[in-house]
A and B are shown apart, each in its own frame.
Chain A
Amino acid sequence: MEFNNNIPIYLQVIEKIKQDIVTGRLKSGDKMLSSREYSTMLGINFNTVARVYKEMEMEEILFTKRGLGTFITESPERIKSLRYEMAKKQIDDFVRGMEQIGFTREDMIKFIAENK
Chain B
Amino acid sequence: MNENEILRIENLTKKYFNKTALEDVNMSVEKGKIYGLLGPNGSGKTTLMKVIAQLHKQSSGHVFINGNPLSYESKASISYMPTENFLYDSFKVKHAVKFYADMYKDFREDYAMNILEEIKVDPEFRIAKLSSGLNGKLKVALALSRNADLYMLDEPLNGVDVLSRDTIMELISKSYDETKTFIISTHLVSEIEKILDSVIFLKDGRVELFGDAEELRLSKGTSVEGLYKEVYKNV
Contact = CB atoms under 8 A, between A and B. Distances in A.
Query: In their complex, do chains A and B touch, with some C-beta pair under 8 Å?
Result: yes
Interface in A26-48: 36, 39-40, 43-48
Contacts of B38: none
B150 interface: no
Nearest to A10: B214
A46 B34 CA distance: 9
How many residues of B sit at the interface, in one of the four size bands?
A: 20 to 34
A8 B218 contact: yes
Contact of B193 (A5, A39, A40): A5
Interface residues of A, number: 18
Interface in B218-234: 218, 221-226
A17 B193 CA distance: 21
Contacts, number: 53
B223 A43 contact: no
B56 interface: no
Contacts of A47: 32-33, 197
Given A43-B173, A45-B195, A8 B222 contact: no
Contacts of B193: 5
A109 interface: no
A10 B215 CA distance: 11
Given A44-B194, A47-B197, A9 B214 contact: yes
From DSSP, what is the main secondary structure of chain B's interface residues? helix
Contact of B176 (A3, A46, A51): A46
Given A6-B221, A39-B173, A44 B214 contact: no
Nearest to B193: A5
B11 interface: no
B194 A40 contact: no
Interface of A: 3-10, 36, 39-40, 43-48, 51
17 contacts: A5-B190, A5-B217, A6-B217, A6-B222, A7-B217, A8-B218, A9-B217, A10-B214, A36-B177, A44-B194, A44-B195, A45-B34, A45-B195, A45-B196, A45-B213, A46-B178, A47-B32
Interface of B: 32-34, 169-170, 173-174, 176-178, 190, 193-197, 213-214, 217-218, 221-226
